[in-house]
Copies of this chain bind each other. A is one copy, B any other.
Amino acid sequence: MARIGLIAAHGKTEAESLAAEVIPWLEQRGCEVLNEDELRGGARPDVIVALGGDGLIMRVAHDLPDIPILGINVGRVGFLAMTERQHWQDALQEIIDGRYEVQEGPTLEATVFRNGQAIVDAWAINDVVIRSGMQLIDVEVYIDERYVNTYPGDGMIVATPQGSTAYCMAAGGPVLAAGVGGFAVTPICAHSPIRTTLVVPKSALIELVLASEREAHLILDGVPELELQEGDVVTVRDGAHRFRLAVLEGMNFYDAFRSKFNFMIRPDAVPTLGRRGRERP
């Protein structure tokens, strides 16, 4: 018997009315359905079904870490929430039948040292960012206790594979596919042409030092965590938690990448090796 957690985006009518359909549907099929309160109370389901967009998936993964999440997209763009609303019944049937894989991604643990004392310890699913206020800042980068460079600019991004399509790609960095054992370290608007992303192994100790007096913030997954001071050392490394997505058979990162981001360069191109990407002759 499957134990399914169910969380709908707060205050989103469409998500809430979908929840009202989903709950009896699951119960009729013999599932135990856990609501948000029960989940927060410590109940552990096999999978959490999130009715909302990518923002909801991120919130759930933060609050209830390590549990596989299936996102049903009730929103504008669903890159992580890969199941479109109208296919919810098929998708949930696959979950009930156990026909899914768990795609696991790393998280990042960030610790801020000020005058030798750890003053903040937090973790992120997508990225750990040092970002300047209105003025240019210098950030020193060290990998495994070796000095890499001092980057003047708008700051620095450390991204996981699942976070690489967000700020990292926006800043000119690469996309790391799921399963790549590494993190991307990408300078933001470095006032230098030397702004190549460095991809480091998952085992790396990444240290970022704010080497300017100017305003700068530590931002985790888009949420400001702390205003930094000159000399603060932010260490970033592979975190204890794992980001887990329940992936159904038809789901495909590359399809999503192409269609959700409008990345189909030639809309009329027909792939030679198969028409739908996942079925090849």
Is the pair B207, A179 in contact by a Cβ cutoff of 8 Å? no
B209 touches A265 (CB 8 A): no
The answer to whether A147 touches B177, judged by C-beta atoms less than 8 angstroms apart, is no
- Min CB distance, A254 to chain B, in Å? 5
The answer on a CB contact under 8 Å between A193 and B195 is: yes
Are B131 and A131 neighbours in the complex by a CB distance under 8 Å? no
- Please report the total number of A residues contacting B with Cβ < 8 Å: 83
Docked-complex contact B146 and A175, CB < 8 angstroms: no
* A200 near B174: Cβ-Cβ < 8 Å: no
Residue A140 is within 8 A (CB to CB) of chain B in the complex: yes
**A146 and B277 form a contact (CB under 8 A):** yes
Are B175 and A199 interface neighbours, CB within 8 A? yes
**B-chain residues with CB within 8 Å of residue A200 when the two chains form the complex:** 177, 179-180
Q: Least Cβ distance of A217 to chain B in Å?
A: 7
Q: In this assembly, does A203 line the interface, its C-beta being within 8 Å of a C-beta of chain B?
A: yes
Q: Which of B138, B149, B167, B169 contacts A263 (CB 8 A)?
A: B149
Structural contact, B194 and A265, CB atoms closer than 8 A: yes
Count the copies: 4
Query: Min CB distance, A41 to chain B, in Å?
Result: 31
A252 neighbours in B (Cβ, 8 Å): 146
The winner among A76, A142, A204 for most chain B CB atoms within 10 A is A142
Interface members, chain A 187-236 (any B CB < 8 Å): 188-204, 207, 209, 211, 217, 219, 222, 224, 231, 233
Do A278 and B176 have beta carbons less than 8 Å apart? no
Chain B residues whose CB sits within 8 angstroms of the CB of A2 once the complex forms: none
**Residues 143-200 (chain A) with a chain B CB within 8 angstroms:** 143, 145-154, 166-167, 169-182, 184, 188-200
Choose among B173, B195, B231, B268 the residue that contacts A272 (Cβ–Cβ < 8 A). B231
Q: How far is the CA of A2 from the CA of B198 in the complex (A)?
A: 36
Please name all residues of chain B whose beta carbon is closer than 8 Å to the beta carbon of A176 when the two chains form the complex. Answer: 182, 199
A145 contacts B278, CB within 8 Å? yes
Q: Contacts A146-B254, A199-B182 given: A265-B262 contact, CB under 8 Å?
A: yes
List 4 tightest A-B contacts by C-beta distance, closest first.
A181-B181, A179-B201, A147-B277, A174-B197
11 pairs, CB–CB < 8 Å, chain A vs chain B: A142-B277, A148-B257, A154-B170, A174-B174, A174-B184, A180-B199, A180-B200, A180-B201, A182-B182, A189-B189, A209-B273
| A contacts, CB < 8 Å to B | 76, 131, 134-135, 138, 140, 142-143, 145-154, 166-167, 169-182, 184, 188-204, 207, 209, 211, 217, 219, 222, 224, 231, 233, 252-255, 257-258, 261-269, 271-274, 277-278, 280
